[in-house]
Amino acid sequence: MKDPDKPDKRKWLYDEVNPNLAQLHRIKKEIYSGRTEFQSVQIVDTGSFGICLVLDGKIQSSESDEFIYHEALVHPAMLSHECPETALVVGGGEGATLREVFSHTTIKKAVMVDIDRQVIDICRRYLPSFHKGSFDDPRLDIRFADARLFLQDSRDKFDVIIIDLVEPLEQGPACLLYTREFYELVKDRLNAGGIISVQSGAAGWTNFQNFTAIIKTLKAVFTIVCPYHAYVPSFVDMWGFATTSQRINPKALSAEDVDRRISVRLLNRLRSYDGLTHQSLFTLPKHLRHQLAITRRIITDKKPVFVY
């Protein structure tokens, strides 16, 4: 039994999942800790989920389960496209999203836009098992810029756009990258017949308000919006995503279609996603379908959404 008079010498990572729920992770080793111009950065080796990237106190990726998140984010959209040759990745500083994009043999060029050069430098150095050399792929064109300014200034268009941003903290770098105005810019950079994948926040039993607002906002811009979710253990919650397009509906793909495209196109062996998983991702529970149906909020520049 622990002696209450002896302090616990172990170090703990306090990760606030939402205002009413937090989790503690024992820190076996602190690999990096610092602050960039935009956010605090930690890389820690935990007893629970292995090495974790932590931005502004929130776990972004963990060694043990990041494959669930990144495979769910990338492949439903990529495999729904007939032949994606160009991709834009917005955010995704640890490089794992790029890793999954480059696993597609059809990709000829990928542009990555991230505002925080230091985060990418840190991840490139300390998280090689996450990015697996994707930052060195000759098909990559990396831009250190504000995503909105990049989209406003660029005339390039893409077959697939993947938005892998941090959550919209009020003082963080992404609060205006979840609005209708931002999604209008993204839409303009999409090729005809293209598709977008959007990281859409927590979608759990009691923590779905931002997710439903994001989906409602996307529906104000795009013809086809397909919300889906996956359980990510290190996030302690179901996590929301969406594909958006003017023409492509990933829900139309059968399990056999998905498995066939995986076998033809992908270089990497997937650990979570396949045809059966594809079907389950888009099968939302009744309570969440109800919340999506009754949500009226559209996120705008004047009324952005925040995570507290």
Active-site amino acid positions: 164
Query: What is the separation of C-alpha 178 from the centre of its chain, rounded to a whole number of angstroms?
Result: 13
Residue appearing with tokens 């990559």: 140
Evaluate whether 26 touches 11 at the Cβ level (below 8 Å). Answer: yes
Closest Cα partner for 169 from 177, 157, 180? 177
Evaluate whether 134 touches 68 at the Cβ level (below 8 Å). Answer: no
Closest Cα partner for 69 from 196, 168, 161, 200? 200
Listed in order, strand segments (DSSP E) in the chain are 11-18, 21-35, 40-46, 50-55, 58-62, 86-91, 109-114, 140-144, 158-164, 190-202, 224-232, 237-245
Closest Cα partner for 284 from 215, 233, 194, 220? 215
In eight-state DSSP terms, residue 235 is G
Tell me how far apart the alpha carbons of residues 243 and 294 are, in angstroms, rounded to a whole number.
20
Dihedral sign for Cα atoms in the order 139, 162, 282, 83? negative
Tell me how far apart the alpha carbons of residues 208 and 292 are, in angstroms, rounded to a whole number.
9
Tell me how far apart the alpha carbons of residues 51 and 6 are, in angstroms, rounded to a whole number.
28
